[in-house]
Amino acid sequence: TQLLEQSPQFLSIQEGENLTVYCNSSSVFSSLQWYRQEPGEGPVLLVTVVTGGEVKKLKRLTFQFGDARKDSSLHITAAQTGDTGLYLCAGARGGYTGNQFYFGTGTSLTVIP
Amino acid sequence: KAGVTQTPRYLIKTRGQQVTLSCSPISGHRSVSWYQQTPGQGLQFLFEYFSETQRNKGNFPGRFSGRQFSNSRSEMNVSTLELGDSALYLCASREGAAGLGYTFGSGTRLTVV
């Protein structure tokens, strides 16, 4: 059982459309990260959110951390073909040895020109 | 600043053999983690090393092992390879115990035939 569930699992949209990806859990996290991964490469960190209710914007990408720090969303405005990739959320929980990260199930996004 | 370097990028091994993968973290990063990524299971945590000590371990059999050297470079070893070990193995580094996200390498694509 995955600690973090992402939805949708697959998403195919036309260039210029908007979309939202969700990352949900029943557990509380001290922080949450979003990554984008392209085929054959490692994930690249996009953003870290720490405070419940926090909203961060990265150009056309908007990230929100839920008030209870159990969920997050990623909204992309006017998607471009360069946004194509696998989007992963990862929640951090602090064990005594330091933060442990739990990755979500992933959302594969394809933006069609 | 050089990124996380993983070698080799691709590897083909026969069932029953053993394999060693290498990872050089970002300079100054003392924490190195290893993940296995497959289409069906997503990113699964293998283990984390910090200052040459294994700090956390995922739920993998004892055939999977690792170590970290004094210069923070890390290796992981898989013995008695099985077909199901075919995956992308990702190494990630972060600063200390309170890091807020990983920097990943490009991964090693292991194929077991």
Q: At A82, phi and psi to the nearest 5? A: -70, -10
Chain B residues with CB inside 8 Å of A105's CB?
Answer: 42
Tell whether B39 is within 8 A of chain A (Cβ): no
**Amino acid type, A110:** T
- At residue B62, does pLDDT exceed 90? yes
Tens-place pLDDT, residues A57-96:
999 999 999 999 999 999 999 999 999 999 999 998 876 5
**Residue B107 and residue A40: Cβ atoms within 8 Å?**
yes
* A-to-B residue pairs, Cβ atoms closer than 8 angstroms: 65
DSSP 3-state of B103: strand
Spell B14-53 as b/e; 16+ CB within 10 A means b.
Answer: eeeeebebebbbbeebbbbbbbbbeeeebbebbbbbbeee
- At residue A10, does pLDDT exceed 90? yes
Predicted confidence at residue A97, as pLDDT, reads 59
Q: At which residue do the structure tokens 């999977």 appear? A: B64
A58 touches A89 (CB < 8 A): no
Tens-place pLDDT, residues A14-55:
999 999 999 999 999 988 999 999 988 999 999 999 999 999
Q: Alpha-carbon torsion B83, B88, B96, B52, what sign?
A: positive
Distance from the Cα of B7 to chain A's closest Cα (Å) equals 13
Distance from the Cα of A16 to chain B's closest Cα (Å) equals 28
Number of residues written out for chain B: 113
Contacts with A, B 78-107, CB within 8 Å: 90, 92, 96-107
**Amino acid type, A12:** S
The closest CB to that of A103, out of B42, B48, B97, belongs to: B42
